[in-house]
Amino acid sequence: MPNSVIIFRQIEEITSKLIRLGLSVQQNYPSNQQGAIAFSGMQDISIAMKNIAYEEIYNKLEGSKNYNIKMLDGALIQMLYSYRDNKLVSHRLAFFPAPNLESFQNEPDIYEDDEIYADILGRNIVTFPIRFDYDPDNFKEIEHPKTHATLGQYRNCRIPVSEPLTPEIFIIFLLRNFYNTAFRKYTQEFVLSSHRFPRTITDIEKSSFHLGMY
């Protein structure tokens, strides 16, 4: 099982890499306070869980710089892990795309010469947040899997996930699916290590639709 030092270093390396490749425009490097791995200057992030308009959630997170990474299209990435006695007890990995891409879509001439913008210029793109949680304390089979994905802000959307995600797995998932042009260009920069968390999905959860790596 990856310990807190490994997870911290992965986030640190990912942050530096995204800066170097020009995919991050603003960032907060990770911090590790007694097993609580967050980002420098983190404030109360409960706003992201409230029943308010997504645009307001995004604006508050962006305005208070409550993120690890702000991507070139304005998307915010959070990577939070909590360890106790060097054992993972929770994680929250979140992707908050910018709710308004008009600045990119209305002035395509500014960006069309740079191929890494190719995936974010479509006028038919509908942005929505994605979150991966590891929350074993609230486990209830099928209803609240230990590791689950939430799409959008749907209160009861908890898609079973095979295992907690390392920062490497999470970032590669985001790049491959939402920044595919950039991912193909820099594929050699994002290679998975052998570090993986044990599986947490149950047999019953595996028999329903789920997300996983095998």
With a CB cutoff of 8 Å and minimum separation 6, the contacts of 144 are 135, 138, 158
What pLDDT does residue 47 have? 60
Q: pLDDT per residue over 48-86, tens digit each? A: 666 788 899 999 999 999 999 999 889 999 999 999 998
What's the rounded Cα separation, in Å, for the pair 194 and 131? Answer: 23
Which residues share a beta bridge with 27?
69
Find how far residue 44's CA is from the centre of its chain: 18
By the 8 A CB rule, do 161 and 82 touch? no
What pLDDT does residue 64 have? 92
Asked if residue 118 has pLDDT above 90, the reply is: no
By the 8 A CB rule, do 82 and 89 touch? yes
Kindly report the average pLDDT of the chain as a whole number: 88
What's the rounded Cα separation, in Å, for the pair 202 and 146? Answer: 9
Q: pLDDT per residue over 164-205, tens digit each? A: 999 999 999 999 999 988 888 899 999 899 999 999 999 999
